[in-house]
Structures are given as C-alpha cells and as structure tokens.
Structure 1
C-alpha cells in the first residue's frame, strides 16, 4: 500500500515538531546548569528525562542511559533508580572527565572518576551472584515490512513465517520464546484461526511464549495494544498486559 503524499507531509511535520519539543529539554537543562552550576547537571538531566516520559506528550525513547545497556555490569544500579539513575551516572562521568582534562586538580578528579566507575562495578558483583541458574530466551523477529504488516491479505504468510521461526528456535530448547509487538494481527486470546494455531503450537512445543497482540477488553468495550503470556496446555490466558501509554 503506497504512502499518500499528504501522509508524507504530515509525518515529516510531526517529526520536525517532535525534534523541536525534545530540544526544549536540552535548552532548559542548559539554563538551569548555567544558573546553579554544572554539578547540578546529573540531577537535572535525570529529572528532565523522567518528566519527558510523562503526560500525553511523553516520549520514553532514546534516554541517555539506554546507550550503555550492552555493558551489563555498568547498568545494574538501574535496580535502585531505573534508567534515570544510569543517565545521571553517565552525565556525572562526563562531568568528571571534563574536569580531569581541563582542571588543575587532576589527581582529585581522577580519583573521583575511578570511584564513579568502581561503584556500579562493585554493586554488580553483589547483585549478580555467581551460581544463579541461567534462563534461556529465544527472541523471534520476523523481517516484515510495516506496510505488509498492515495488509490483511498478508496475515497468513506473516503468521506462517512466525511459526516457522518459532519451530526453528525451539530446537535450542529455550525456557521462553518472545514475539515482537503486535506479532499477531488478531486477538490471539480469542478463538480465531490464527490464535488457535499459535496456541496449538505453544502446546506442542511445551514452551511458554510471550507475544504482542491486539487485545479486546470486553468490560471497557475497547481495543488495546497488548501482550500476553501463553502457557502450554492452558486454555485461558491469565497473564496479559494492556499498553497504557502510547508513543
């Protein structure tokens, strides 16, 4: 389905407005730090990220702390203060590095920088205890174009590819299989052809599966972008999540 010209204009305009809105936070941070000093930057940055994720205009993407998630031992303090604590730590590290390079008190700032790295590493050694049982997860990510994903006529092929990848991943004997957001084009908890097929696959593999799916909430007479946990040989779906904040 080709994208209409008016849609391109609206999308482009929306992206430009989004950049302007997000840029306001950087401007406010700069003004506050200029008035109260650079040492307030870690706290102000973390607070701005927290505020940025709230409300109707909340945009909880691309937070600074997300940039170091591949470094497992450095992000463990997120257990104490979430991603915002990691963002504050990153700003602090950069602030110390700046003073180390341009200040005469290099020894003091060098020691502080070492301590800043030692703190999360020490917490990691305590938090990640050796000997804990490993939990093996298989993540399924079909290569589906967003345009095809919205095409109702392509749903059978999409689901066939999804199930094929699932069987392939099951060969490695994972403890859990995870599908992407809106992996199914229909409510998988209802007795539909696709829903029944996926639940039958879960039963045959004997592996719990988390999938994104549209969910119809009958009491509220509304549809939600949700996720459910499908358990083998369990008819009812007891664990489900309704997305409450759209971005």
Structure 2
C-alpha cells in the first residue's frame, strides 16, 4: 500500500488533475439515490495522498504548496458537483429556446463556483499538514468549515453536503441530532480519510483502521440506541390528524400552459375529493418504515405542492369557492400558490408576488399564509435585476413577474390548534430555516416543492433525502408534498411513514406523528459543531507542531 500511495503522491501534471476530478465524480455516487457510501473510503484516502504530494513548483515554499492543494481540492470539487448536480440543467430545457444557452453554466459554471469551497478547504488543511492522523483531522475540520460556509455565502447552496453520504438510512441519520449536518460532514471526511493511514508503518496503520471501525461503529450504534429509545413513532396516536398528500404529477410544460389551467386545477380538486386512501407501498429499502392506511378516516388536512394553484387566489373568488365546495366539513387545505400583494408606486399600480403556502377553509376563505424567505437566485429572482434585465435576462421559474422574499418566516395555525412551519422548495436544505421561530411552538414542518423542473434525475431523490435530516435535527415530523414526487410523511427520526413514488399521480393519507423533543436545541447543536471542529483542529495543529519540532516542513 505504501508503494501505491507513493505513486499517487508523485503523479505529474495532467494525471494528477484528471485523478482529482475523477475522485470527486466518484464521490458523488455516495449521495442519493445511489447511497454508495463505501466509495468514500476509497476516494478520500486517494485525495489525502494527492495532497501529500502538493508541494508546488518549488518544494519547501509554503505558497506553492497552498496553491497546489487548492488546485487539487478545486478539481475534486468540480468533479463532485458536476456529477452530483448536473440535473439542474434539466430545468433549462423546459423553455429550451430561451434558456438552453445557459446549460453549460448549470453543468460546469455552478460546480466551478461551488468547487472553490473544497479548494479552500484543502488549502486550509495544508496549512496544518503533517504525516499522520493529524493531517486527516485537518482535512476533516476544513471540510466541515467549508460545508458550513457553503450554507450562507452568496446566498448559500449547501446541496449534497458530504455528511449526507454517511447517512443513507434512518439508523445512520441520528448523529445529525448531536451537531447537525455540518458536524456530520466533518465526521464523514474523518472516517472516510482514515484508511489513508494504511500506507503508514504497520502500527500506525492498525491504529488508524481500528479508530475508523470504532468511529463508524459508534455512529451506527448511536442510531440503533436512539431509534430504540424513540420506539415506533411511525404508528401515531389514533386521534392524530390525518394528512392527505396530493401529488398531481403534472408535467412542467402543462403547468405553464395557460390553456391547461382549468384541467390542472380540476386534477387537484378530484384528487382532494377521493375517498380515504391508503399510502402507497414504500419503495425497496423503506419497507421497515411504512405505516398502513390511516384507519379509513377522512383527511383533516389536505396538502397541495408548490405553486400548484394555477390562479391567483386573492383575485379569483371562483377558484376559492371551488376549493371550499370540494373540502369536507372541518377539513383544511394547505396549498402551494402564488400570493399577490397589490401596491402603488409612482402613481401606477404595481404588485409584489410571493411563493407561498396558503391555508384555505371549507368556506373558501384564506385563513393564513406563509411566504418563502429564501429565494433561488436566477430561478425565482434575478440578481442585479436592473442590469441583467436590460440585456433580456429573466429568472427561470418566475415568469415575467419575479418573486419577492418574505422578511421573516411565518407559521400557520390550523383548525384544532395544529401549528406548522412551511418551507417552500429548497428551503428545506437549510438547517436554520427548519428551526421554529424564536418562542413559537411548532407541531410539524410542511415542505411543498415542485421538482418536476428536474425530470427523472437524481434531483428529487437528493431533495427528499436532505429534507428528512431536518426532522432528525429538529425533532419535528415533516409533511412533504412534491408535484411529481417524491411526496412523503417523515417522523422525527427521519423514518418514512407514507410515501408516493416519483411520477405517480396519487394521494396518500397518513396519521401525523407527534413531535419529539430534540436531542439538543439548535444553539447547543451549533456549540457541538464548533467544539468538534476545535478538537479536530487541536489534533491537527499539535501534529503539525511536533512535525516542525522534528525538522519537518
């Protein structure tokens, strides 16, 4: 193994670059829907050996080593993100004549920007590089910091954080309750990279492998213990609200067709009016997570996906009346819809539009609404709008109006006192947005989305997987409804209670699981994250100081 590591370390020029990209692309297979997490135990040791050889053009010169490390990390990130989120380009094909020119930006441009975070992580780790486990601790801490930074810099896009690779199933998700996804990301890099020590002397190699086995075992063991403590929360109490997931599976082209609006709306009404329905049999791998039908009871709460209503409900009394007539007594609808807020500016009537979740009663009355806070740049709004709109650009998913961001998150209280926190579309990948607003009690998170933009690609599966982790972190069940899938009810341990598969037009009824007390409140999870990074950094710095003391560089 030492001979093989030396060959990787000494790779020249383009071979080093090609291997860096290939390792990143292979690592993307650790994410949903593939979940081949064992690949990480190969790709990260090879990344460590590449970084061992990051000496720059002038050996011994620190700046050259940092540039070489950044280049390796950036190329690794380019491969990882290009292979992991290429499906974003599918959204540009919906209106191909107008947006096809931007496909290279989605396939390579965005990955190139996101790869900067991994390049910076590798350069930062190289500052504290040593020749043992210390360098692996440095890499883990740097990647954890990079994933955290990726959640807010340039509005944030923490999609496919490395930590999700180590959490393919509920039993392996529970560690997120300790320090959140960013702590698990640092932990994932630590355990993935430890086999790099197989190239060290025999004693160090055995120690590193034993440590890796212990850490992975602790990760799994904690999950087993926590699920045993929680019990079978998938079987909710009999008087729990019955939730109906409505998945219309309407093609994005049809949703945008003004002539098809009446048919689209009628599909939603027809699905809402169906008799009590069992949830769909879960996909392979989820068999242990399934719950049976909701005792034949009529739904208490019906949920429609993001922007499902093809009309402006604040203007269209007939549409509201149709909803009211379709709902049963005491039922309530949570509908993804565009909310208009009229206004006046410079003497002319203008308006703001929000991507919202609206609560509608059996009387056809809008009883509450929550607007999206974190909009998708270039998707729902156009950054530098005055400049870019002047050259003919517009946001992909916002038609001609563009959306406005809500100033703050809002909860909705339904009949019976149930309070939900709506998260619209990719808001569910931001851990902070899933935390209830200060001082407010929340019974469940409602995530409405329209992943039809991305077709049958890994995107919808990745989105569902990441959303499930918000339940584990917060202790709140999640009601997730997607236009074309994957819709699901998720309990506080990340287990799927009810599910509708991809591209299936159907409804699923399920009892809403009770919320659970989170293992740690959000503030403590943040403290745990920084404490873990501090421990890793201390190990790395100590190893670096010892190396320098014995004449290393």
Pairwise TM-score range, normalised by the shorter structure? 0.7 to 0.9
**Which SS does the other structure have where 1:215 is aligned?**
strand
Q: Structure 2: how far apart are the matches of 1:207 and 1:42?
A: 49
Q: Structure 2: how far apart are the matches of 1:48 and 1:2?
A: 33
2:293 is equivalent to residue 163 of structure 1: no
Cα RMSD over matched residues? 3.3
Q: Structure 2: how far apart are the matches of 1:68 and 1:210?
A: 34
1:208 aligned partner: 332
Determine if contact 2:312/2:339 at 8 Å carries over to the other structure.
Answer: yes
Change (3 A) 1:4 1:120: closer
**Which SS does the other structure have where 1:120 is aligned?**
helix
1:104 aligned partner: 206
> CA offsets per residue over residues 93-130 of structure 1, 9 Å max, x none?
4234x25866222334322331232233333434x244
Q: How does 1:173-192 map to 2 (within 5 A)?
A: 173-188=298-313, 190-192=315-317
Change (3 A) 1:65 1:228: farther
Give the structure, 1 or 2, with the largest relative contact order (CA under 8 Å, sep 6 or more): 2
2:218 aligned partner: 115
Q: Which runs of 5+ in 1 are unaligned?
A: none
TM-score (norm 1): 0.78
2:186 is equivalent to residue 83 of structure 1: no
Determine if contact 2:164/2:181 at 8 Å carries over to the other structure.
Answer: yes
2:99 aligned partner: 7
Determine if contact 2:314/2:340 at 8 Å carries over to the other structure.
Answer: no
Change (3 A) 1:180 1:93: farther
Question: Between Structure 1 and Structure 2, whose CA radius of gyration is higher?
Answer: 2
Q: Structure 2: how far apart are the matches of 1:194 and 1:91?
A: 51
TM-superposed deviation, 1:225: 0.8
Q: Structure 1: how far apart are the matches of 2:166 and 2:212?
A: 22
**Which SS does the other structure have where 2:125 is aligned?**
helix
Q: Which runs of 5+ in 2 are unaligned?
A: 1-92, 129-134, 200-204, 279-297, 345-350, 377-553
Q: Structure 1: how far apart are the matches of 2:94 and 2:172?
A: 44
2:257 aligned partner: 151
Change (3 A) 1:175 1:28: farther
2:246 is equivalent to residue 246 of structure 1: no
Q: Structure 1: how far apart are the matches of 2:176 and 2:94?
A: 42
TM-superposed deviation, 1:212: 1.1
